[in-house]
Amino acid sequence: MRHSILTEILSREPPDVLYHYTTQAGLLGIIKCKEIWATHTQYLNDRREYLHAVDLVRQEIERKVVSAIDDASKFALEEMTEGLAGIESMNVCVCSFSEVKDSLPQWRAYGGGTSGFAIGLSGKFLPDVVNAQHFYLVPRLYTPKKEGDVVD
């Protein structure tokens, strides 16, 4: 059952249009290079979302260690905990898109003040590009229940 929640999220069809908010310089770079760059999580303006995801995984593993029914399971879970050490510096890159065409929080975060742009990209085109690069196009989960369902 839990596997199907993650499978459903990873295979979700994007909306018809997704918007990428950027500055004037960012827009010119996208047009010139015909690329949208992803940013390493170490260099994000706000790393809290990534660190929050890592913390959720760490907490779930710790919860499972306490309820492990045999030594082999407990050992495997403890190995997973050790594997999380240093994960914050792992090569994970992200690029943000929004389903909202005109979002004040997106303008504030990515629009660069008064010279921001929201580039509309086809939701039918993006999955092919993402798959070709071996990336994932997934929605940000904004409720603890949904986050917990995926991590569990």
At residue 2, does pLDDT exceed 70?
A: no
Instruction: Give backbone dihedrals phi and psi of 142, rounded to 5 degrees, phi first.
Output: -105, 10
Which of 40-54, 87-101, 137-151 shows the lowest mean pLDDT across its residues?
A: 137-151
What pTM value is reported for the model? 0.73
Taking only the tens place, the pLDDT of each residue in 18-60 is: 999 998 889 999 999 998 888 888 888 778 878 888 888 888 8
Q: Retrieve residue 25's tokens.
A: 């310089």
DSSP symbol at 20: E
> Are residues 18 and 98 in contact, defined by beta-carbon separation less than 8 angstroms?
yes
Cα–Cα distances (Å) from 48 to 16, 116, 132, in that order, read 29, 23, 28
Average pLDDT, integer, range 91-108: 86
